[in-house]
Structure formats: structure tokens, C-alpha cells
Amino acid sequence: MKRFPLPVWLFALALAILTSLPYLVGWWSTPAGWQYSGAAAVPVGAQVDFNSHLAKMWQGSRGQWDYHLLFTHEPHPGLPLVQGFYVALGALAQVTLLSLPAAYHIARFILTIGLVLALWAFASHFLEKRSERWLALLFGTIASGWSWLLLALDPAMTAQLSPIEFWLTDAFNLLGAFVMPHFAAVVIVQIVIVLAFEGWVRTPPPDSLSIHGQGGQVGTRYIVSLPVIVLTLALAAQAIIQPYAALLFGPLLVILAGYHVFSTQKLSLRRALWLLLPLNIYAALMLYQYVALHSHPVWSSFAEQNQTLSPLVTYYLLGYLPFILPMAFGLRTFLMDRPDDRWWMPILWVALVAMLLYAPFPTQRRYLLGVQTPLAMLAAYGWSRAVLPCLSRRLRPLASIVYFGLASVGLMAVIAVNAVALSQPERHTDVFYQPDEARAFDWLRQETNDRNALVLTVADESGRGSGGRLVAALGLRVYLGHWIETADFADKVANVRHFYDQATTDEWRKTFLKDTGVAYIWYDEYARAVGDWNPAGADYLEPVFTSEKVTIYRVSGL
């Protein structure tokens, strides 16, 4: 409690409650007979990600630690440790008897509190004054971006791609924690990595111990210091939760270690070699995942389709403008003050992220996750030591209130829009299960003993469709459901459209169903929108559940 003052705890609790309110509204607003999925309504991509995370949790709840893709029909080997965060969370849900959505949001709530506390600890390492630590905490949580200004400045630019504050959840700490618990977990782990490394460099315990034996002989026993152990565990955790960060934190730690060996001489070369322990374990976990994801055609397709490229640089410049402005104002003061060398950590972190955002990798946006943390430290420094001194003491609180109010517009808009949307289930059915759909889920849950039974579902490039919803609700395998986790997604979208095309022959459909091993067909409004063929007249399909909006067919007679 001494390290984290009571106001910090209250602030953390307040943010956890604030980011939970829309979901509580969703549960409270669910009409009788309906079910709330637990997903956010905005951004739309959050629903796709939520379905994916629940698929992993389903497997953990069944004791399946080798993760499989439930959104594709092809047999493929499971991968232990891959997506281990949600698999473990599903196992925890099973032990605690919580529903998967409830476990998901309880984890998100707790990790949001942990995120705020970790940010305070991070700020305390760089900033001595409590007022500056609070500024860093505000910059690291409620502040988001101003690319929403493009809606007024250049509406045509946002016609195809919205301002990043409304959809790029990797870019901002609290926005990520609002949507996904593992994002908050990654930021916490990143801070543990940094503080463990800094602790190892600046307050080094002995890495060896002299031992006096009989006859006055002196021997040496080498020991692993606690910061190195913590650093090893934290890097391993990050490799499992967010493996893409290897290209960021590996070079960051190596560069800083080299700096402290050859410049500050806080590290001897002999002591610096201890860094090989955490880095080698980190590299081994990364290499394992890379090889595993390219060892089978299904996993290779997953890796190939996992494209998260960066938007135009304009989005980033405006998106991080609330941080860039105080950093720019504070640059002259920073150079004059010559703060100690610990500030190289946030500076290099930001610089490496900037270089990776347009590097020739398919996961460019992934490197944004957590970058708000070092940006917050640098922005707090500039705001406190360059901007505020230009104002009278009376105006300083008002200036900070106005600035942070404007900087939080994007985040608060996302929370408010979600609260409104989730209060209107009839208008936002994508995140709710309607009564017919819920009853169909219940039928499949009760009648399908085979968890590997494959269901023919539909989905499109935006993630809309029955596939993702069915996997999230039941944990069953589907033919088509996720633009990354369905192998050869584009080909399967074309196959499903051909299946529901009136001109397609029954022979083709029978061959398709037999070759893919489909056990059930889920026929609903999404399927009817794909094509004009109705399976009701097919003698090889038996209707086993019928309601106004959903019909389930069992494939038979092939």
C-alpha cells in the first residue's frame, strides 16, 4: 500500500468500473429469451476477436492444452503454449464454475486494475515528484488520440478507414484493456521486464559468491540474481501472450545492455552475459512458435492470413499528437536538464516501435501494444517541466484538466457508444443471441455429444456471420468463421457461396459435404443472404431443429 497510495488504488478501481459499465449495461438490457454474448459492440472487429478468444477458452475449459483452430475443418496438430493465456483462462473458468464470458470480463476487470498499478510503478522509476507521476498515469490511461479530427478536416480519408481511436485497440493502453484482458496483461508484463532489467543494472546483487573451504582455499559459486529470474519469467510470459514483441524487446534489452557495458560501465561484460539466460529462453519460445506455425499447411495459412499492417502515417501522427506536443515542448528542457541515463529506456522503446511500424513484416500494428507507456513518461516530463512553467500557477490545473479532457475524447466516445449500443439489443443483434438462435444453440449443446462435429456456417470478410458466433457459444468446429483462423479463408467463402447458389448441382453439394466431413448445416439469415438455394428440399439433409429464423440440418444419406 505504501508503494501504491490509496488514491492510485481508487483511480485504478474507478477505471476498471468505467470500462466495465457498457458490458454491465449489455447484461442488464438483455430481454427475456435473449442472451448477451459478452462482446463489445464497437469496434466491430472486437466481436471477431472475442469469438476467437472464447474458442481458446473452450479448449482450456475441456482440459485441451494443445490449441487447435475451431474455425476450420481440416485436421491439424494442436500447439501447446500457443494462445496459452486464453487456454489457461478457460481452464480457470472451469475450476471456478464461471461461464466463459464471465471469466473473460472478471480477468479484464482485475488486469485493468493491475495495469494502472503497473503504470504507477513505472512512473515512479522515472519521476520523483508525485504530481509528475500522476501526469504520467493520466497520459498512460485516459489519454488517447486526435485522429478523429480527420472526420472534420478530411472526411474522404476516413470513409474507408476510421480514426484509430475507434478501432486500433493495440494503440492505447486503456482502450486495449477495455476490449481484451490479454492486452492489459501484456502491458503489465512489459513493465515488469523493464523494471527488472533496470533493477538488475542499477542495484546489482552479486552474481557470484566467494566460498572459503578447508585449508584457506577460495572457490566461486555463481548465483542467478532475483532481477534476472524475474526478467526471465517475464520475457517467457510475453513470448506466450504476445509473441510478436520479440522484435522489439530483444533488441531493446541488447542495446541498453551494450550501452551500460561500454558507456556508463554500470555493467561489466561478465555480468552482462547473464542476460543470455532470459534472452535465450525468450528466443527458444519464439523459435518454437515460429516453427510450429509453419510446420503444417493449416497453421501456415493462419500465419499467412494474420496480416495487421499499419495505416497511413497521418493516422499515427494525429493519433499520438496529445503525446507528441508536450514531448516536443519538453525537448529543449530535456536537453538542458540532462536527466540520468534511465531515460534511454523509454526513448529507445519509442524509437524502435517507430521503426517497426512500417518494417517489412505482416504484424506491423502489433508493435504498438504498450508503446503508450514510454510515451506517457516522456509526455509527462514535457508537460510538467516545459508547458506548465509557461503558465501562471492559477492556470496550471485548468490547463491540465482541459488538455486531458480533450485527449480522452476518443476513449470516452468508444465507452459511451458501447453503453448506448448495448442498451438496445434489438438494434445491435450482432452482439446478442436472439431467442431462436439461443434455442438452436441449446439444441446443439444437448444433442451433440461429439465435440469434433463439424457445422457448416457462413462468414464474410468483415467477420459477420454464424461461424464465429457458434464457436463462441458452443466451442464446436465450423467450416467457416474467422478471416484469420479459417484456413484458406477466401477459397472457403467462395465454396459456401457456390453451395448456396441455385445453379449448383446436388452432386457437387454432396461431394462437398462428404469431403469436408460436415455433420450439420446451420441455416439462418446469414446463410439466406449468401445465396438463393434453400436446403429444405434436399433429400440428403434432415431438419432436426426448426424455428422461425434458424433451421439445423443433419447431413445424412451420402
pLDDT per residue over 355-390, tens digit each?
A: 999 999 999 999 999 999 999 999 999 999 999 999
In whole angstroms, what is the distance from residue 310 CA to residue 355 CA?
12
pLDDT at 318 over 90: yes
CB 374 within 8 A of CB 382: no
In this structure, what C-alpha cell is assigned to residue 334?
Answer: 530535456
Same domain as 450, residue 301: no
In whole angstroms, what is the distance from residue 481 CA to residue 492 CA?
10
Same domain as 145, residue 10: yes
Side-chain half-sphere of 321: how many Cα atoms within 13 Å? 20
Mean predicted lDDT score pLDDT of the chain = 94
- Looking at residue 134, its pLDDT comes to 98
- Looking at residue 222, its pLDDT comes to 55
In whole angstroms, what is the distance from residue 54 CA to residue 90 CA?
8
Same domain as 474, residue 399: no
State mean pLDDT over 140-153.
Answer: 96
In this structure, what C-alpha cell is assigned to residue 28?
Answer: 442488464
Among residues 386, 421, 456, which one ends one of the domains?
Answer: 421
Same domain as 97, residue 188: yes
Q: What is the pLDDT of residues 239-281, one digit of tens each?
A: 999 998 889 999 999 999 999 999 999 999 988 999 999 999 9
The amino acid at residue 554 is R
In whole angstroms, what is the distance from residue 375 CA to residue 208 CA?
37
Same domain as 442, residue 416: no
pLDDT at 346 over 70: yes
CB atoms within 10 A of CB 249: 24
In whole angstroms, what is the distance from residue 459 CA to residue 512 CA?
17
In whole angstroms, what is the distance from residue 547 CA to residue 437 CA?
9
Q: Which residue is it, cell 476450420?
A: 72
- Looking at residue 2, its pLDDT comes to 67
CB 168 within 8 A of CB 319: yes
Is 219 part of any domain?
no
In whole angstroms, what is the distance from residue 84 CA to residue 67 CA?
8
In whole angstroms, what is the distance from residue 11 CA to residue 137 CA?
10
Is 518 part of any domain?
yes
Is 137 part of any domain?
yes
Q: Please report which helix (H) or strand (E) contains residue 65, including its range.
A: none
pLDDT at 339 over 80: yes
Q: What is the pLDDT of residues 507-535, one digit of tens each?
A: 999 999 999 999 999 999 999 999 999 99
Is 306 part of any domain?
yes
Same domain as 184, residue 56: yes
CA angle 290/462/543 to nearest 5° reads 100
CB 103 within 8 A of CB 54: no
- Looking at residue 213, its pLDDT comes to 52
Is 476 part of any domain?
yes
State mean pLDDT over 118-135.
Answer: 97
Is 275 part of any domain?
no
- Looking at residue 208, its pLDDT comes to 54
Among residues 421, 454, 479, which one ends one of the domains?
Answer: 421
In this structure, what C-alpha cell is assigned to residue 516?
Answer: 469436408
**DSSP letter assigned to residue 43:** S
SS3 call for 367:
helix
**DSSP letter assigned to residue 408:** T
CB 22 within 8 A of CB 422: yes
Is 455 part of any domain?
yes
- Looking at residue 216, its pLDDT comes to 52
Q: Which residue is it, cell 525468450?
A: 282
pLDDT at 403 over 80: yes
In whole angstroms, what is the distance from residue 298 CA to residue 489 CA?
11
Is 426 part of any domain?
no
CA angle 365/183/323 to nearest 5° reads 60
**Global pTM?**
0.95
Same domain as 466, residue 414: no
Q: What is the pLDDT of residues 414-445, one digit of tens each?
A: 999 999 999 999 999 999 999 999 999 999 99
pLDDT at 411 over 60: yes
Same domain as 495, residue 551: yes
Q: What is the pLDDT of residues 183-205, one digit of tens each?
A: 999 999 999 999 999 999 987 66
In whole angstroms, what is the distance from residue 382 CA to residue 90 CA?
43
CA angle 73/76/78 to nearest 5° reads 120
- Looking at residue 44, its pLDDT comes to 86
Torsion angles phi and psi, residue 138, rounded to 5: -70, -45
Which residues are CB-contacts of 405 (< 8 A; sequence separation ≥ 6)?
none
CA distances 154 to 141, 314, 322, Å, are 28, 11, 19
pLDDT at 215 over 60: no
Alpha-carbon 73 to chain mean position: 25
CB 330 within 8 A of CB 385: yes
Same domain as 122, residue 42: yes
Give the residues across from 521 on adjacent strands.
Answer: 456, 553
pLDDT at 51 over 70: yes
Domain of residue 491 covers 434-555
In order, the DSSP letters of 485-547 are TSTTHHHHHHHHHHHT-TTS-HHHHHHHHHHHTEEEEEESHHHHHH-S--GGG-TTEEEEEE-
Same domain as 480, residue 408: no
Same domain as 160, residue 185: yes
Among residues 366, 392, 421, which one ends one of the domains?
Answer: 421
CB 84 within 8 A of CB 241: yes
CA distances 19 to 16, 149, 251, 276, 422, Å, are 5, 24, 34, 39, 13
Give the residues across from 218 on adjacent strands.
Answer: 212
pLDDT at 112 over 90: yes
Q: How many domains does the chain have?
A: 2
Same domain as 136, residue 175: yes
CB 387 within 8 A of CB 330: yes
For residue 221, what pLDDT band results from cuts at 50, 70 and 90?
Answer: low
In whole angstroms, what is the distance from residue 193 CA to residue 102 CA?
29
